[in-house]
Amino acid sequence: MPPKPCYTDKSSTQILREGLIEYYALNPHVTPPETQPPEFGKILRAHDVGHIIYGCDTGMYNELKILPLFWWTSECTFGTYLKMKNSPAVDVMYADMIEEKGVLWLYGTVLRVLPTLIPALIPIWFKTRKRQKLLPFLEFEPLLDRTLLDIRQEYDLLQFIE
């Protein structure tokens, strides 16, 4: 079994920039943002930064968990997400995933994960209802040289990391 990534450690003192390097090294299947049109590449990089800050791997459970975490704790609201999702580059990404894995795999995996994910999201939703300080989404660069623990404490995210 491969070692657990440092960024998934709840109290990691790794800096975000190091976490990004580790994330890309451990996840060669992830689309490199620099290979995409600039606007979409920026969204991909912000999504990848979210994986590190929220301590999420790239399994389907965490891919589905990270979206509500963004909507409820960051500047990427559900409305922002819908605008970003309405992009030809996003359509290509989903089409590529379906072509690679198949539509049955995608929806089958989602359906297998939902029974454990939904009960985990309910308390997160209640805890984030009156959130004042939102994590930057697209403008995350000022966080790159800060430790994950520092970022997670400042934005009160430790409670959402398993």
pLDDT at res. 88 = 67
- What is the residue whose two structure tokens read 């790794």? 14
What's the CA angle centered on 17, arms 95 and 136, to 5 degrees?
70
Span 89-124, pLDDT tens digits? 667 667 767 777 788 888 899 999 999 999 999 999
Q: How far apart are CA 19 and CA 7, in angstroms?
A: 6
Residues β-bridged to residue 34: none
HSE at residue 50, side-chain half, CA atoms within 13 A, is 28
Write down the pLDDT at residue 83: 83
pTM over 0.75, yes/no: yes
139-160 burial code (b ≥16 CB/10 A, e <16): ebeebeeebbeebbeebebeeb
Model pLDDT for residues 36-85, shown as the tens digit of each residue: 888 888 988 999 999 999 999 998 999 999 999 999 999 999 888 888 87
